A = this chain, B = another copy of it.
């Protein structure tokens, strides 16, 4: 049986070796049109993706690759194994030399988020490695981690996704009741890493109500957060599930525990405009 986690760890390490020296350089800022996910692809994105495609092809591993840049692609004939890849999550941070950027890989036995059974998120600056296998817990650099037990917003640090020029007025209206009660806010710019930080307890929650986050950004990290004891839901409180496609997008809330998420959901309902969620 394929050891997906070992393969992912080797591929993530290879990606980091390839792209880390480019961060902050002019070469990293070169763009390559738009990827399948709709965002502008930088040369570092495609270089990182090529590491994975090259390895899967050369090792004759049949799978369906779902990737931010390449979209959905059958490799070595396809099959039922899905490999869900965001080669670089937080590319803007990476090219600007802001040390918050990750690579994200998940394995799924089918085409839905609920089918994900292996996840890896690696911090491309520091090399910090978040991993999980379904029903076997989550690890940071090989040691078991668990989510925060903070249930009081007055003690919480929550990361909010606020980059949404067209609708930021509605977005902040919805978020204000939460922003008024939370001890510390952050907006760090790498969804996969922010959800992984919820897994390790570094963040108490991550809230993204834009409806723009892709399955490739969250497939690995949401398994890691859940295996660490956390909750990943839609803004109406249902456990998040979605199709594993480069083009599928969602809103989500990840939190360390169900008591905290209940408080967050209640406050979001009180936001002035709930059409956003």
When distances are taken between beta carbons in the complex, the residues of chain B under 8 Å from A92 are 157, 184
* Complex contact A189–B189 (CB within 8 A): no
On whether A163 and B185 interact (CB within 8 A), knowing A99-B125, A176-B169, the answer reads yes
Residues A175-225 near B (CB distance < 8 A): 176, 179-189, 197, 200-203
A13 touches B (CB below 8 Å): no
Q: How many chain A residues have a CB neighbour from B under 8 Å?
A: 36
Shortest Cβ gap from A242 to chain B (Å): 25
When distances are taken between beta carbons in the complex, the residues of chain B under 8 Å from A200 are 97
Shortest Cβ gap from A4 to chain B (Å): 27
When distances are taken between beta carbons in the complex, the residues of chain B under 8 Å from A48 are none
When distances are taken between beta carbons in the complex, the residues of chain B under 8 Å from A186 are 98, 187-189
Shortest Cβ gap from A173 to chain B (Å): 9
A162 touches B (CB below 8 Å): yes
Residue of B nearest to A92 (CB): B184
Residue of B nearest to A189 (CB): B186
A100 touches B (CB below 8 Å): yes
A165 touches B (CB below 8 Å): yes
Beta-carbon contacts of A85-121 to B below 8 Å, as 1s and 0s? 0000000100011111000000000000000000000
A residues in contact (CB < 8 Å) with B: 24, 92, 96-100, 123, 125-126, 157, 160, 162-163, 165-166, 168-169, 172, 176, 179-189, 197, 200-203
List 18 interface pairs A-B (beta carbons < 8 Å), by A numbering: A92-B157, A92-B184, A96-B157, A96-B201, A98-B186, A98-B203, A99-B100, A160-B187, A162-B179, A162-B187, A163-B185, A165-B181, A168-B176, A168-B179, A168-B180, A169-B176, A172-B179, A186-B188
- 6 further A-B pairs in the complex, CB-CB below 8 A; given A99-B100, A99-B123, A187-B187: A92-B157, A92-B184, A97-B202, A98-B186, A165-B182, A185-B187
